[in-house]
A and B are shown apart, each in its own frame.
Chain A
Amino acid sequence: MNKRLSTTALLATTLLTTACASTATGSKQSVLMTKTQTQSLKTQAPAGSLMAVVRYPAVVDSKARDKFREAYMASPIGGRISASTANSTEAQNIVDSSVVKSNYFALSLYKELAARLPEHSVLLSPHEIKLGPDGQLTSEPITQAESLPSVVTVDFATYSYPDPKKMMDKNPLTFGDLISPMVTVRTDHRAAVPTHGVLLSSKPLKDHAVGGGYKAAQASLTELQSGSFDTDVPELDFISYISKDVTRSAASHQLSMNAPENVVQISPMEKIKMDGSKITALNKGQKGAVDPLQPVFSKGFANRIIDIINDTASEKTAMGKRATAIASYDPSLAALTFVGSNDADYLARYNSAIRLLDAEKKYLSVQSLRLFDGVHNGEMGAQVRDMLKAEHNILEKRRALARKQNQAAALAILGAVASGVAISQGSNGQSERQCDRYGRCRIVNRPNYGQRILTDVLVNASIYAGTQAFAYKNESKAIGQNYLTSIVPALEQQTNVQIDLIDSNETITAIRFEDLKDKLKTLYNDRQRSLETIATRCAYNHEGGSQGTWMGVCEGGVANGNGVGVIKNASGKSVEYYGYASGGMANGPGYMIIHEPSGSYALEGNFSGGKADGVMRVSKAGQSDKLRNYSAGKDTGGASNAAAVMSPFNTRSGA
């Protein structure tokens, strides 16, 4: 009896560890689908600007592969990874396959955006993950897609928690019909000053994205200070996250159509379950016509991006990079484009320069379309679809086994409970006094054979059911691990093809793109007449600060006309000013961005002697833009919402 009791107790304990196996479920659709209404484009891109650039990790440089895996394992989302797990081939395959899948699913978003935004206004920007000069992990764009201004750039990556043993648990996973996307949407820091350009971010990426935005803004300031318009292309936010790059906080708000301005909207880390029937329907002949991600994620995300574009598109989103792009053709014109002019000579040059950027846009757009065609509609896309189908089958098998495991565990628990009851009842069985013929008597428990047999059967059934549950669990685990082990050659091949596709395109297009730019430059130089007013570099001053740099119209060695001025102080405070100046100081309509250690904010309106003077539009963290009255640089109270703001961007043309 004691043996049976201990068996039952042991069984009950062990069952606790096997019971209730997860069936690897996910949400039916992304929160982006439910919290965003269908949007149509209601705005135009600023001159020379794209609407959106989709950035994603495409390939990992062989020299950076170990570091990438190591960094990925060291920054897991949803738990901790043991050293033995991190070193396993299966875990490393999960990491490698996340890059392949980022490639494939980024194209779903591209397809959705390209279909809904004007022609040639959406580009793909595949990134190569590599080691930087400092030996740290970084990513660089493979094409020139990010050399042009864009209203927004979108980072997209898929994530899988890199523990093969946890595939059926709640951790984020991109496998079969499950996907965990990680995204950020950003614009130029000049258009979203308090958040350094970050508009929306997956929760784990937020502080890294803001940190990256701050770094890019500071780099741009340094360049302007030295008389250059070059701008940094930030690494992928996902790479910043895993390589634990600089972070910076910014006001945030949960995903909402009514979120205030000047906050980062946070998208939760999701595990979305795509329609299994759509995965099963994927086949090679369709060339990716069935897109299982579209109805659960891409459609909603594209709506949200269009909504952001509608709210964000302005000269501020484009002016920085547009000046950079124009400077490659006409440096003396570039500084004047921040504010623009109505002079015929300026407009003649400006219109031609914008036309050159449009030619670049078309060229890079064809490149993106071909990249899409090569990866999505080509053999690699077909193989990824086959892979997804295989993974879906594996998940379905594991789900079936998990259900059986749960049933077996339930049976075992029932058996254990029943046998426990039987044993307990057996211990209270009837006893009787038995006497032999010599009158010797003893108390004998009367054996209840029926009860005993029942108890034995229940215990045995429980043990069997428990064993079965263990077996199902092991089989399920084996199925996942078998797949991750055997898929290595296919994964390697896909990675190689990907490199071939992008590299060969890049080899061809890089040469051709440079060639195109040379041709355009020659044409431009042959055709342009001289500017009556040219931009030069001279001194710019700000209240109480050291001398800064002005790029624009100068007179007597100081700012005197339109242009851009920057000052960086040793204290960590820096100022960017776009607008009109007189005697070296901000004077007239202008847009001033002030970066302080505590945060950044912007003032737009009239300036006098370097100080805000009049109705100003104030952009500060965590609150929507407000109109305030300023006098000699001091805030003197709120202004009417109907008050006119003297913006440098209101009156100009040709900028």
Chain B
Amino acid sequence: MIRKTSLITLLLLGTTTAFAQETQAVENTAAETITQEAQNVGNDVPIAAAPQQEKCITIMSGFPDNGHVPRYQFFKLTQELSRDITPMLKSSLDYFGDSFVTAETPVTEVIENIANPVFRQAAPEITIGNMGYLIDFAMDCESYLTGQIESLEAYDSSLTESEFNIVIAEDALFMRQILSDTLFRVNAQDHEIFGPSVQAYADSLVTTRDEIEFASFENELDSIEAIFLTDLDGRLARSNDVINNEMDQETLVSSIQITDDLNSEAKKKRKQTMLRTLSRILGGR
């Protein structure tokens, strides 16, 4: 019911309203939202409002806590899930989704619901609803997620390795693909209002898949490059050293010495010739 109200409010205000406004709209009327926004202009506004803060902390406490690596994977996965979500698509999830998820529901359970093939087949609206919930969380709590991800990366730099992150991105893409397929299952693509955004989301998955494939390709290529460049550089350096060591500096030195000797000889001869000339000139007449 609340979600339906939110949808109507959103449609009234226009599809470009920011997500923060949308959350407010759930609790307030459209007019109140505009007033609130107007009041916020020029003031310091907390990144997350107090109710959201509470929501974020509650949900995040439901993340796996059996080590920093699984936590990082879940945070990152959740963050990736919010890619390419437009306000209109977000509204379509509210519209087509139907599931009861509370802030206390563990995230792992939400994800399991999304990946559950039975739900996907028999009750696609539950899959959509769970996905909508997760995306809501990812967008509302973006600053908390980013903070957690950066802290964990600072704690363990190996988490930033591209190969590891590509796997997470692939998992996220898989879940996004599930969402897109499920939306098609409920014929959301043909909906008069939501159809274009559902189609655009499906297209964006192609681009994301290409990006992930390219990142994976580049990752492997980087490895080949590193092996070959290091190998080449080492070989050439050694080859140059050997050849340079074999080069005989004495050859040049002796060549220049020979030149000097020949020049001295030429100079001596010139002097003798000149002396003879001088004596012939002065005394030989």
Contact = CB atoms under 8 A, between A and B. Distances in A.
Interface of A: 344, 347-348, 351-352, 355-356, 359, 362-363, 366-367, 370-371, 373-374, 378-380, 382-383, 386-387, 390, 394, 397, 460, 463-464, 467-468, 471-472, 474-475, 478-479, 482-483, 485-490, 493, 497, 500-501, 504-505, 508-509, 512, 515-516, 519-520, 523-524, 527, 529
18 contacts: A352-B214, A355-B217, A362-B225, A370-B236, A373-B237, A379-B243, A383-B247, A387-B252, A390-B259, A464-B278, A467-B277, A479-B263, A482-B262, A483-B259, A489-B255, A504-B239, A508-B239, A527-B217
A382 B278 CA distance: 45
Nearest to A509: B232
Given A366-B232, A504-B239, A386 B256 contact: yes
Nearest to A477: B266
A381 B231 CA distance: 25
Interface centre among B207, B210, B244, B277 (most CB of A within 10 A): B244
B156 interface: no
A524 B214 CA distance: 10
B253 to A, nearest CB: 8
Given A344-B207, A508-B239, 16 more contacts: A352-B217, A363-B232, A366-B236, A370-B232, A379-B243, A379-B249, A382-B249, A394-B259, A471-B270, A479-B259, A486-B255, A490-B251, A515-B228, A519-B224, A523-B224, A527-B220
Contact of A363 (B229, B237, B254, B258): B229
A493 B251 contact: yes
A361 to B, nearest CB: 11
Nearest to A389: B256
A371 B232 CA distance: 12
Given A366-B232, A367-B232, A504-B243, A493 B277 contact: no
Contact of B266 (A351, A479, A524): A479
B262 A478 contact: yes
Given A464-B281, A468-B274, A489-B251, A370 B240 contact: yes
A359 B224 contact: yes
B213 A527 contact: yes
Nearest to B245: A379
Contacts of A523: 217, 220-221, 224
Contacts of B253: 386
A463 B214 CA distance: 87
B247 A497 contact: yes
Contact of A366 (B229, B240, B266): B229
Contacts of A382: 249
Contacts of B256: 386, 390, 486-487, 490
Nearest to B253: A386
B229 A362 contact: yes
B214 A348 contact: yes
B206 interface: yes
A379 B232 contact: no
B196 to A, nearest CB: 18
Interface of B: 206-207, 210, 213-214, 216-218, 220-221, 224-225, 228-229, 231-233, 235-237, 239-240, 243-249, 251-256, 258-259, 262-263, 266-267, 270, 273-274, 277-278, 281-282
Contact of B233 (A359, A366, A529): A366
Contacts of A463: 277, 281
B255 A497 contact: no
B19 to A, nearest CB: 28
Contacts of B237: 370, 373
B273 to A, nearest CB: 6
A347 B221 contact: no
B274 A355 contact: no
A445 B104 CA distance: 143
A488 B258 CA distance: 11
Given A390-B256, A460-B282, A474-B270, A520 B233 contact: no
Contacts of B243: 374, 378-379, 497, 500-501, 504
Contacts of A505: 236, 239
A367 B236 contact: yes
Given A344-B210, A352-B217, A486-B255, A374 B225 contact: no
Would you list the 4 A-B pairs with minimal beta carbon distance, nearest first? A370-B236, A374-B240, A482-B262, A486-B258
B251 A380 contact: no
B263 A490 contact: no
Contact of A359 (B225, B251, B266, B270): B225
Contacts of B239: 374, 501, 504-505, 508
Contacts of A529: 213
A249 to B, nearest CB: 43
Given A460-B282, A490-B251, A493-B251, A478 B263 contact: yes
B232 A501 contact: no
A475 B270 contact: yes
A521 to B, nearest CB: 11
Contacts of A380: 244, 247
A501 B231 contact: no
Contacts of A387: 252
Contacts of B217: 352, 355, 523-524, 527
A520 B210 contact: no
Contacts of A378: 240, 243-244, 247
A490 B252 contact: yes
A37 B213 CA distance: 46
B270 A516 contact: no
Contacts of B220: 523, 527
